[in-house]
Structure 1
């Protein structure tokens, strides 16, 4: 190949590289603009009329001026229950499939089942929770049923994210740990997990945000009402959440300010999901900052 031909190929590759870079930056900017437009639209409608008492008042069925106090509490309570169940099981299952499970047909089938369950519609898990808690155990629509059903919904995703996060840890780090005479469990706890924890926390953020904003599962397992108390810690009370309340107000409520309540509820829902992500990621950012300062 002559030098002229090589120059042409190099110039063509550089042009393609520039075009691809411009296209990818353009797609990224388009996605960011779409996200900011959604946030501006939702928050712009809900924040101007949002007052602190709206977060603590009881919802109203007929009169105007109701709040979201009990449903907001139920949202956090059910989220807490779902994470208590799903995080240990999901992370443990992911570590097992990445580190301990043998490479055979059973493991491949298990991995396929986990991937398939990750894409199952949430309404199916709601029907499963309804069959287990409301029909088999005959406890009705409860906070416990909603929390456990949400945990079942999020388990496959969390297990798959954890497995991929653990698999991306370089094998050289494991070999260095084994060379020091440590056990496999010690290597996983001291070497693998600290490297994989950012990706695992990202998975926890995803399932937490999904659980907080889920409505189909809650309607079938926790119901469309509350106990009427602001701080009801009973696991067997009905557990309408903020997402379900938003759907109910927007579609079936007869109060005259239903649209305003829906706008303010949507704004609160978005803000809480953003705060959940910040709460999980702040320790990571703080830890990286401390590492950077210690290296200097």
Structure 2
């Protein structure tokens, strides 16, 4: 059985793995919806403008077993529609500070902490990974963020892929440890080179060359660019990502997903890293075998 991933837009990905349904960083508000980021410790509010709508509406989602929420402070990772959704899912895994703010069903994880989700006979281990949303000196503004590694427990044949979701991050030394600890099959990287006029040229997420460097560090068999194109504060476009991976000789690992189209991935024990024949998004999300605990 392969994993199936449907990119909905920004950092929102619908994933079926081991019979469970996961959703990352839910953002479903349409373009034009007023979104503001309140800068901690000041009266400043930064307007965020989405330029492309989600490929699926909340109403089209299957029941969600687990939401992987990298952080709760920015509307391009959790907007009003996404917040409403959280009350209807089985579990939300996120940062410790976000879990305190959100309450049930949120569980907070520090980097390298794991949480096992069970549904029937299937167990998924989700491990939080280090992420830094801004360079040194800006961490209080950007807030706490984590990434995630998702593995099927006791998958001896490695038929199910190991998935990595970077969360919004800039390069930092702890990212190197992820590739040493895990055999990542598919890496979903939050890119966009996000910038804000109030912060000058300070980047708040990865650019294309930084994505290439992280791909090499991870040694992932497939790299999926997300968190790109969809907002005005993203200064990186998808074509720049393709060009950077081509120049680095890594075009074979780059897997650009069409919004709303489900694509299959298998683990290292399978025959291929990807089933390029995507299935329609409507085929995703069969009910999981029991509720997660």
- Give the alignment's TM-score, normalised by structure 1: 0.22
Larger radius of gyration: 1
Compare the two structures and name the one with the higher strand fraction: 2
User: Larger helix proportion, structure 1 or 2?
Assistant: 1
Larger RCO: 1 or 2 (CA < 8 Å, sep 6+): 1
